[in-house]
């Protein structure tokens, strides 16, 4: 009988250090100026204290594709970085690695666990958006979702945003209950970034089932923050928009 093939060795360059070195080589001062205008990093703003170096998001995503098989221990090292773009890279790799045919369920569980365990390092809207619906939501589609309802009540706004955006995986399957319950929890949220995420989720519910969205709006539009309502009714006809805004 032919000898069995040995398992392939992990690539030696699949390390947090190698990714970071490649990333630093892409630094651009003009991009840094753009990023500093785009993210609210001033005193008292949500991004205060974060360190940006100036790398285009498209360049980070391309690099993440090259490093799509980075092991979780290396991804955690990247999450520990003070450099925002390195953490962007970590979350982007997680999102690209999760759906790969070569990714085992055990590895997907590791990625899900890593995201939740190190949520302290997922501390900006772009970081949440990169992996909440590509890792957290997909893992929970056939599992209990109590963790999201707990996150929706968190004092941490980024955990609340994760709770909302992870439900996109359920919406795509025509399952709306978790989204509507979580949006109800954050109706009185003080953060505009939560209002926008919730409105976005509601709009996608409406794309799948307009009647479900209208029933929710009939019950809650009068209490919804403006940004949440505006995002939810973005695709409505002018007359329908006016009706819900007048409630």
Question: With 70 as the cut, is the pLDDT of residue 44 above it?
Answer: no
The SS3 assignment for 83 reads: strand
pLDDT tops 70 at residue 2:
no
Among 28-42, 72-86, 128-142, the range scoring the smallest mean pLDDT is: 28-42
Q: Label residue 7 by pLDDT band (50, 70, 90).
A: very low
What DSSP state is assigned to residue 142?
T
Are 170 and 204 in contact by the 8 Å Cβ rule? The answer is no
Residues 35-64, mean pLDDT to the nearest whole number: 82
Average pLDDT over every residue of 37-50: 68
Convert 49-76 to b/e letters by CB count within 10 Å (16 or more is b). ebebbbbeeebbbebbeebbbbebebbe
11-38 tens-digit pLDDT: 667 899 999 999 999 999 999 888 877 7
Looking at residue 134, the DSSP 8-state letter turns out to be: I
Between 1-5, 62-66, 151-155, the lowest mean confidence (pLDDT) is in: 1-5
Structure token pair of residue 222:
């009068």
What contacts 182, CB < 8 A, 6 or more positions away? 148, 149, 152, 163, 164, 167, 198
Q: Which of 199, 120, 184 is nearest to 149 (CA)?
A: 184
Helix, strand, or coil (residue 222): helix
Could you tell me if 170 and 202 are in contact, meaning their C-beta atoms sit under 8 angstroms apart? no
Tell whether pTM > 0.85. yes
Averaged pLDDT for residues 234-240: 97
- Helix (H/G/I), strand (E/B), else coil: 51: strand
Ordered alpha helix ranges (H), the chain: 16-24, 29-38, 57-66, 72-79, 84-97, 105-117, 125-131, 137-140, 146-151, 157-166, 168-171, 177-185, 192-208, 210-220, 226-232, 238-245
Left, alpha or beta for 49 (phi > 0: left; psi -120 to 50: alpha)?
A: left
Number of alpha carbons in the 13 Å side-chain half-sphere of residue 202: 33
- CB 43: neighbour CB atoms within 10 A? 6
In this predicted model, what pLDDT tens digit does every residue of 108-120 receive, in sequence order? 999 999 999 999 9
pLDDT score of 4: 46
Spatial separation of the C-alpha atoms in residues 214 and 104, rounded to whole Å: 40
Retrieve residue 154's tokens: 């968190």
Between 28-42, 190-204, 209-223, the lowest mean confidence (pLDDT) is in 28-42
């Amino acid at each position: 009988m032919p000898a069995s093939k040995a398992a392939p060795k992990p690539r030696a360059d699949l390390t947090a250090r190698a990714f970071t070195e490649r990333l630093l080589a892409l630094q651009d001062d003009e991009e840094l100026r753009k990023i500093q205008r785009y993210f609210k990093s001033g005193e008292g703003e949500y991004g205060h204290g974060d360190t940006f170096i100036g790398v285009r998001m498209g360049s980070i995503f391309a690099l993440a594709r090259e490093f799509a098989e980075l092991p979780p221990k290396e991804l955690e090292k990247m999450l520990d970085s003070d450099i925002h773009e390195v953490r962007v890279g970590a979350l982007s790799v997680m999102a690209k690695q999760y759906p790969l045919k070569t990714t085992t369920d055990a590895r997907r569980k590791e990625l899900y666990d890593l995201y939740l365990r190190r949520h302290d390092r997922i501390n900006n809207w772009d970081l949440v958006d990169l992996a909440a619906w590509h890792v957290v939501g997909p893992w929970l589609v056939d599992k209990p979702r109590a963790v999201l309802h707990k996150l929706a009540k968190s004092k941490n706004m980024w955990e609340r945003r994760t709770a909302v955006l992870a439900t996109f995986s359920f919406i795509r399957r025509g399952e709306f209950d978790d989204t509507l319950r979580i949006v109800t929890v954050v109706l009185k949220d003080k953060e505009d970034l939560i209002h926008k995420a919730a409105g976005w989720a509601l709009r996608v519910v409406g794309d799948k089932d307009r009647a479900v969205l209208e029933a929710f709006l009939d019950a809650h539009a009068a209490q919804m923050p403006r940004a949440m309502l505006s995002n939810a009714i973005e695709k409505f006809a002018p007359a329908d928009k006016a009706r819900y805004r007048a409630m």
